[in-house]
Amino acid sequence: MKGFTLFELLICCLLFSLGMLGALSCQIYARQQVLQAQQRLMAAAVAADVMSSLQSVSVSARGFQADIQQKPATGSCDQPGLCNGQLLLQAQLAASLSGVFQPSAILPQAQLCIRSSAAGPAISLSWQPVQKSSFQSKSSLCPLKTGHFQLELVPGRGL
């Protein structure tokens, strides 16, 4: 007799499906890692943008402290002479954070913390990650929610 039996074909299909399940799980893991990398990249860009906003308005930034969990209100800086350093800083922060605090944002449940220090402003940005992590980070600036990722930008230390 030549050919394959039904039992041999079933075993072949079983082995093939197990191999495909392994490849699919690798693809899912790789996609989660890509999403986490996108979140970290977005968080670093937002933190750097906020830091540049704080440094460009240095008069207000010296004593500026904030714990921002939603988009800050914009100040009225549209007329000359009405805009002081604090209003300009609020307008710049609102522009920097325009996409972070939207429901469909890439950083869900984002929380931005800005603390003034002798070396300059320190920024902490936390968000809910795509995938839960067993790594527990401790915040030196702001309270950190359980299971959230965090990025800190501290003068003299960097990220």
Cα separation, 7 vs 14, in Å, equals 11
Give phi and psi for 125, each to the nearest 5. Answer: -125, 120
pTM score: 0.68
List pLDDT tens digits, range 83-133.
666 666 777 777 767 767 666 677 888 888 887 777 777 888 888 887 766
Residues above pLDDT 70, as percent of the chain: 65
Q: Specify the pLDDT at position 151.
A: 84
